[in-house]
Amino acid sequence: MRIDVVTLFPEFVQQCTGFGVIGRAVERGLLDVATWNPRDHAEGGYRRVDDTVCGGGPGMVMLIEPLRHTLAAVRQATEQSAPVIYLSPQGRRLTQDKVRELAGLPRVILLCGRYEGIDERLLEHEIDEELSIGDYVLSGGELAAAVLIDAVGRMQEGALGDTQSAAQDSFSDGLLDCPHYTRPVSHEFGDVPAVLLSGDHAAIARWRRMQSLGRTWLRRPDLLENVTLDAQDQRLLEEFKREHKGNTHEQDH
Ligand code: ADE
Nearest to 119 by CA among 181, 68, 183: 68
Tell me, what's the pLDDT at 21?
A: 97
Whole-angstrom Cα distance, residue 92 to residue 186?
Answer: 45
- Which pTM value belongs to this model? 0.94
Q: Which atom of ligand 1 is nearest to the CA of 141?
A: 1
Share of the chain above pLDDT 70, in %: 97
- What is the residue-averaged pLDDT of the chain? 95
Return the number of other C-beta atoms located less than 10 Å from residue 123's C-beta.
19
Res. 172: pLDDT tops 90: no
> With 70 as the cut, is the pLDDT of residue 22 above it?
yes
Helix, strand, coil shares of the chain as percentages rounded to 5? 45, 15, 40
Question: What spacing in Å lies between the alpha carbon of 230 and ligand 1's midpoint?
Answer: 37
Mean pLDDT of 219-228: 97
Tell me the CA–centroid distance for residue 111 and ligand 1, in Å: 11
- In this predicted structure, the answer to whether residue 249 has a pLDDT above a threshold of 80 is no
* DSSP designation for 108: E
**Residues in contact with ligand 1 (CB, 6 Å cut-off):** 87-89, 132-134, 136-138, 141, 144
Q: Is the pLDDT of residue 164 over 70?
A: no
Domains and CATH numbers, the chain: 2-153 (3.40.1280.10), 170-252 (1.10.1270.20)
Catalytic residues: 89, 116, 154, 169
Q: Tens of pLDDT along 128-157?
A: 999 999 999 999 999 999 999 999 999 999
Alpha helices in the chain, H assignment, sequence order: 10-15, 20-27, 64-77, 96-103, 120-126, 142-153, 201-219, 221-224, 231-247
